[in-house]
Structures are given as structure tokens and as C-alpha cells.
Structure 1
Amino acid sequence: MKKWMWPLFITLSLALTVLFGYGFARAYSDIANPPQEKIVAESEEATVTPGETYIALGDSLTRGVGSSKGEGFVPLVGDSLKETNTVDRYQNLGIRGARIEDLRAQLEQKEVKRSLKDAKIISITIGGNNLFNSGEILNNYSEDTALGILETEIPNLEKTFETIRDINKDAVILYMGLYNPFKELPDGDSFDSVIQKWNESARTLGLKYDIQVVDTFNLVTDAKRDLSSDNFHPNDATYKQMADSLSLVIEKNVIE
């Protein structure tokens, strides 16, 4: 290789190395700490039009992150409800990366309140980003710390349930319980215990506010089989199972 080409080769090699490292870091960050969408911008689209609706609230699971089309369970459930004339339309108000406090802020928005007030069916996925603390819980994990998060956040989940039920006294409201994406890690059994306690608390709150809790815990038992390539969000098959579970509970609770 000519002498003058060596500096160019070295410069290009360093540039590619930096670019690769940056891309890897961004990919990890997007999984462990997903970027939050602008709640206001998303919610302003929630204008009210005539007809009965299914409204989906929540985080990246409602948004459909991990599915091949980026849609998840909401269109599967919504299209099925439309085909059976249970609702006329559906709206996905999920916010990627949302925590309980973000959902509570969203519930204060005028257009969101109007949409929820007239909804026939409302589904919610929330709490995972609080409990898992955007992946930070994996660093120096302790069950006591996880249980401390649960103790703090369950009262906030109750406030969320109460707010949504106050907005709409008659809708069928469903909360999707949490699953364990960390089963194969050394602390997987401990995570199982904490997440089951979360879901038990959610079921207790569900009885208080007439909110159906849909089990997703048993849908994720093998990370390679049940999760997408990020090892956190569901894949297409698991989203389909979530949709089926949600539809079954809706069918049992909706009065035509």
C-alpha cells in the first residue's frame, strides 16, 4: 500500500469504529431507556367523532414496539371489535416510554378526557417502565429495591385507575398485567416474585374500580420464543396472544 494511503486508511478505520460504537450505544439506550414521544402532540390527535370507540392507553406495549409492523395488539383487537360491530372505531393513544406519571398527565388533557368519556372500551398498559426503571433495575439488582418501587408505584396506579373510572363510569376498562422479560437472567426467579406481587395488587385495585385485569404473565415464559429481538418487547406471536386474551375478556364483559 502506498505510504500516502496509510493515514487515510487509519482515519477511515477509526471513523467506522466510532460510528459502530455509537450505533450500538444508541440501540442499547433505545431498549433500556426508550425515547418518550411528545404526549401533547400525540394526544391532540384524539379528536372526538360520532360512534362508539375503543381507546387504548399506555406505553410501548400499546404502541406496538417489537412487532414487525410496529402495531402490536391494538389493531388486532380494534379490527375485531369493528367486524363484530361492537365499536365503530378505535384510537391508539399509547406513548412509547410512558410511565404512570406520564399517563396521569395525559389524562388531564381536554381532548383525551373527551375521548375517554365517550369510549365503550378502554385498555391500559402501564407500570413496566416504573417497575423496571427503564432498565436501571438490572444494575446491582436487589429484590428489596424492586419491592420498594412497587410500594411507591402501586398507589400511583390506583390514582390512575380512579381517574379513568371517574372520567367514564360505564366503559369496560381493562388493564394488561405485567410479564417478566428477565426470566433467563440470574435474578429471574426474584423478578417473577416481584411482578406477580404487582399483578396481584393490580387485581385488587381492579375489583375496587371495576377494572378487568388481563393476564400476560403466562404469555412470556421463554425469551427467545416469546420476545422480539430486543429481548424486552413481545414479538408478533405474543402480541397476537395478548390480543386474543384481551378480546376474550372484552367479550365476557361487553353488554351490547
Structure 2
Amino acid sequence: MTIAHDVAGDGPTVVLLHSTVCDRRMWDPQVPALVDAGYRAVRADFRGFGETPVPDGPYSDARDVLDLLDLLGAERVAVVAASGGGRVGQEVAARWPGRVGALMLVSTALGGHEPGAELRAFGEREEALLAAGDVGGATELNVTTWLGPYAGEPARAEVREMQRHAFETQLAGDAGAEPIRVEFDASAITAPTLLVSGAHDLPDFTRIAATLAGRLPRARHIALDWAGHLPSLERPEAFNPLLLDFLHADFPPGRDA
């Protein structure tokens, strides 16, 4: 199955992988900027998010992304990935390093990370709300947890819509479908990597970014003093220049996609 996706623009391919709080619509503010800068923007919904249905058996998000790149004839790409999508981006870049020419990880998750007290408390509260059938309460918990102080009501409404849709889709789907977990060594990532964290996010994500910055051979870490967990939605006017500066330096227009 090909996961739901859309493509805009021409030029080197930039693949946008969404947070598991959202779906591919989280990148609405970035697509026009990428197209205007000379890139082909590809964004996709993971299984159980947006327009991609819940899987009916074992699945691999990383393999889904690779299959999509093959379908689109994108041999070498830049990957921009947020939160849970960042874990997928790391797997793609580590297992198929020749396919990834640049990697931007925004508030990224990390396989094997031991959650801190605040992240554990969030997970327990979310699980309890969903077990009680309170999808609205679980949705609001995510909106208030993951958006920083600079996020306006339009961004909050967008995250609310995307998160609730994901909950409803997944709760109605096959509970037995499990992701295929493949062990990979993040130090195998060869692409220049920009790690972005936010001062208003849960502290786990700053620690993860610092850990990866020390582990990846070509990585640097930028901490945004204004950002929560979803800076691309919170202040796109500040996030987009950061994104384009990184791409222009390490994956400029004019190279083969």
C-alpha cells in the first residue's frame, strides 16, 4: 500500500514527516516556502494518520517512506521530520544513508529513550482519558502539552483537529496491527543533521537533541528560546528561515534529486 501523500514544486526533493500529534497538514506553512525556494516538497501521512488508513497487519513506517521515494523516483532527498516522525527519519537515514543528503530533526523522539517524569505523567494521563472514552479530553491534553506560548488559536485549532482525527481513526482500527521494530545505529547517519529543540517543550526533547548531537558525526543542535514542541506551526515566520538556511547550505537547489 502507498501511504497518502502530496507533492508540490520542482527541484531537489524535501520529504516532510509529521509528528504523531498531527498529520501531514502540519507542514502547511512550510510547503509554499519550499516551493518558492526551488524545492519539491513531498509530505505523507503515516498509517493511522490523516488520509492513510490503519494497517491490518505488521507495518514499517520507514519502509513506507522508502517505498514512496521509489515511487516518486527520488533517489536522494532531504528529510525534515518532527517528533515521532523524527524517529522514522533517523531510521531511514541510518539504514539507507545513500538516500538522505540532509536531515533536520525537530523535537525528535529517540528509540530506547527512558522518559522523564513529566513525559511519563503525560502518557499515563493520555492513556487514562482514552481508556475512559474521553477522546475530547485526550485531545485537549495534547494541544495544551505540545504547543508553546507563541502558538495562536489557529494553530491550536489545527492540532486539535489533526490529533482528534488520529485518535478516532486509530481507535476504530485494527488494535492488533503492530509496527515492525528494526534496530539501527544512529551513528550510521552520514547526512549533515540539524537538531532543533524548544525551551518550552518537555525537557526530554532537549536531552534527546543533545544526545544525538554528540552521537551523529555531522550534527549540530539549535535550541529555540520561544518554541514548544511544534515550532513549525507555532511561529512559521521564524521557523521557515531556519529550515531554508539549513537546506541551502547542505542540500541546495540545483543538485540532482
TM-score w.r.t. length of structure 2:
0.44
Larger radius of gyration: 1
* TM-score (normalizing by structure 1): 0.44
Which is richer in strand?
2
- Structure ranking higher in helix proportion: 1
Q: Which has the higher contact order (CA 8 A, sep 6+)?
A: 2
